[in-house]
Chains A and B, each alone.
Chain A
Amino acid sequence: MRRFLVGMASMSLLLGGCATTSEVNQSRLDLIKERNELVCGVSGKIPGFSFLESDGRYQGIDVDICKAFAAAFVGNPDKVQYRPLTAAERFTAVRTGEVDLLSRNTTVNLSRDSSGGNGLTFAPVIFHDGQGLMVKRNSRINNINGLARKSICVGSGTTTEQNINDAFEAISLPYTPIKYQDLDQVIQGYSQGRCAAMTSDRSQLAAARSSFASPKDHIILEDVLSKEPLAPASLGGDQKLSDAMRWVIYSLISAEEQGITKDNIDEKLKMAKENSQLKPLRRFLGVEGDLGEKLGLDNDFVVKVIRATGNYGEIYDRHLGPDSDVPIPRSLNEIYTKGGVHISPPFN
């Protein structure tokens, strides 16, 4: 009898573990809040974007974006679980729910964004990049035609891999791709002479070059093989989460447009509270209206985000600015008032 009871109990436990179709409609955002923690897929191996410091913390633009999301979703930028993913496993990880979202140098394109393709949804672009090629100066190669029949080091499972393929097909020349799992291996393969060239996003090429013993011996070719708009991504069909992500990114850009920084955010908040005529600022900082609520976030999510990471320009300068380890000129990545392409729709 007792055995029977135990059997029944375990059976019902098993049935309790059954998924039902009603769960199909639950948003990942609710899950994140319930868990009180964000699981963020990062690379962990790309200087300037996300890499591991000797003190054991992750650093970079992608990491700060994760922090901004965590500040908005659960109110604490430190409640993030960083999950290093290789390029090849990142989409599988989102699809299976292994991570909540990706902030991992991911290029937006049609097949990744569409329901018939990888089925992801992308947040606004956080970094406009382009794919380039780096060769040794003494190789005397000065354009892509010079690389015919040569081997080229490339990261596998990336758009980089497809772009280089397309570029060589367009000029109908053969080449040999040497594929590695991680960028550090691509760099190593190239610097030790396995390949005549390495290809990656130009920001990463610049970062790699700055880490070489003599950066002057390497040149980045003028050919830009592709546009590489990099953006955070989440699983498609989850509007609640993707909307929240979209507007967190816009809040970073909008804050830069309005000159709101980590240092003056409290001052601005005080100003908004005291002056009821500053309607746009009051709405932006959640003093008035219910913009945050509409997204399923707190009304003052912008304040939390800026307090945690500063605005977009501050994040950029911290990791890619002139004083950082990986200086990359802002050019296209300025806000639109300064000749760049970053612009935020109004917070209305």
Chain B
Amino acid sequence: MNKKHNLFPYIRRIAFSNSLDTCITLFILLAVFLLSTITIKWLLFGADWAVVIQNYPLYAFGLFPADQRWRPALWLLLLISLTIITLVGPRWRWLRKLLPITWIGVIPLGIVLLSGGLGLLPVASRYWGGVTLTIFLTTCSSLLAFPLGIILAIGRQSDLPLIKFFSSIYIEALRAVPLIAILFFGQLLIPLFFPIGVEINRVIRAVLAFTLFVSAYVAEDIRGGFQSIPKSQEEAAKALGLSKLQITQFVILPQALIIALPALTNQAIGLLQNTSLMAILGLVELLGISRSILANPLFIGRYMEVYVWLAGIYWLICTVMALLASHLEQKVTIEKLTIKN
């Protein structure tokens, strides 16, 4: 079908098929037009972007010492280039094989680059902030929550009543409580549960709190995966003489993970957004540093600009994460198909 030739009837079919549709379409077009003119006018003429432009380093790296800023910058750059390489899909097989290892290795590398050591000047975690801290919290917490969630999910499916009981209690309790309460606990109450003198770094406590919270949700997602696998598979594996552990490890878990993959990536995106809650509890991640900037007498009242800027950044990061996730899903399904064939 020649689309160009049939453009008019095509538009007519999709947007003006009856009178009600026509009304809706015209109304939407009008609203979109008005809204976009107002927005563009504000973006170009109304807004004062000094609050954004003068504080780029703060948004990106927080209070990281100026002469050491290349370290978080390098880490972020590495993450960006890895993302691009993964999305484009390199031509060379060796590079493709290297990718998963690089993705896992990028996290310890980030810790070393941020905290120092190995010949780098040590930088205490209180200087971490901005986008760097947001991404750090997200990657570390998801990396820790993933295995913990798997263990909890297996625990909940277990035949051993006590273990099942403990896992269920944990999962249900954490899912019933709002995240901010757990973060409050992690920031202000955890020290009460440790002997005086034992001090756990504040960022680590935030990572722990996020991990505890997210792992309960991850466990539920994976359990959903478990339940969608037919019982016959387990019986077949048993007939082959595999032990219970082997069945979980080689038969059930890989399939459950593939089924749970979309839900899991949604958890990761949700986690990134939820790191903004730390702004209420005093960490200077992206939203927190922005609130501090807004308190500077020079920039008081420039809420609109900052919020629009922040929304843009969060939207960009989340969209990139969603793209990566759908890429991963495609890849996994293709691999599954090739195995079947």
Contact = CB atoms under 8 A, between A and B. Distances in A.
Direct contact of A and B (CB under 8 A): yes
A97 interface: yes
A31 B198 CA distance: 10
Nearest to B61: A56
A223 interface: no
A162 interface: no
A40 B303 CA distance: 28
Interface residues of B, number: 39
B58 A19 contact: no
Interface stretch (A182-190, A242-250, A287-295): A182-190
B164 interface: no
B282 A184 contact: no
A337 interface: no
B339 to A, nearest CB: 36
A211 interface: yes
B99 interface: no
A54 B289 CA distance: 11
Interface stretch (A86-94, A109-117, A166-174, A263-271): A86-94
A210 B298 CA distance: 10
Contacts of B66: 55-56
A207 B297 contact: yes
Contact of B196 (A26, A81, A93): A26
Contacts of A97: 191, 196, 199
A82 B291 contact: no
A206 to B, nearest CB: 11
Interface stretch (A43-51, A122-130, A195-203, A224-232): A43-51
Interface in A66-91: 81-86, 89
A81 B297 CA distance: 23
A61 to B, nearest CB: 15
Contacts of B293: 52, 54
Contact of A184 (B191, B197, B284, B295): B295
A138 interface: no
A86 B188 contact: no
Nearest to A191: B301
A17 B297 contact: no
Given A52-B296, A56-B66, A181 B197 contact: no
B55 interface: yes
Contacts of B62: 56
A57 B187 CA distance: 23
A92 B188 CA distance: 7
A239 B198 CA distance: 21
Nearest to A48: B297
A304 B276 CA distance: 40
Contact of A326 (B188, B295, B297): B297
A187 B54 contact: no
A85 B282 contact: yes
B197 A23 contact: yes
B173 interface: no
Contacts of B297: 47, 51, 207, 210-211, 325-326
Contacts of B87: none
Interface in B298-313: 298, 300-301, 303
B300 A184 contact: yes
A89 B282 contact: yes
Contacts of B192: 96
Nearest to B51: A54
A136 to B, nearest CB: 15
A183 B295 contact: yes
Interface in B145-188: 187-188
A53 interface: yes
29 contacts: A19-B194, A20-B195, A44-B295, A51-B292, A51-B295, A51-B296, A51-B297, A52-B296, A54-B54, A54-B293, A55-B66, A56-B57, A56-B63, A82-B126, A85-B282, A86-B280, A86-B282, A89-B187, A89-B188, A96-B192, A97-B191, A98-B187, A181-B280, A184-B291, A184-B295, A184-B300, A207-B297, A208-B300, A210-B297
Given A44-B292, A55-B66, 20 more contacts: A17-B195, A17-B198, A31-B197, A35-B199, A45-B295, A46-B295, A47-B296, A52-B289, A52-B292, A56-B58, A56-B63, A81-B124, A81-B126, A86-B280, A89-B281, A98-B188, A210-B297, A211-B297, A211-B300, A211-B301
The 7 closest A-B pairs by CB, nearest first: A19-B195, A45-B295, A184-B295, A211-B297, A52-B292, A96-B191, A56-B63
Interface of B: 54-55, 57-58, 62-64, 66, 124, 126, 187-192, 194-199, 202, 280-282, 284, 289, 291-298, 300-301, 303
Interface of A: 17-20, 23, 26, 31, 35, 44-47, 51-57, 81-86, 89, 92-93, 96-98, 181-184, 187-188, 191, 207-208, 210-212, 325-326
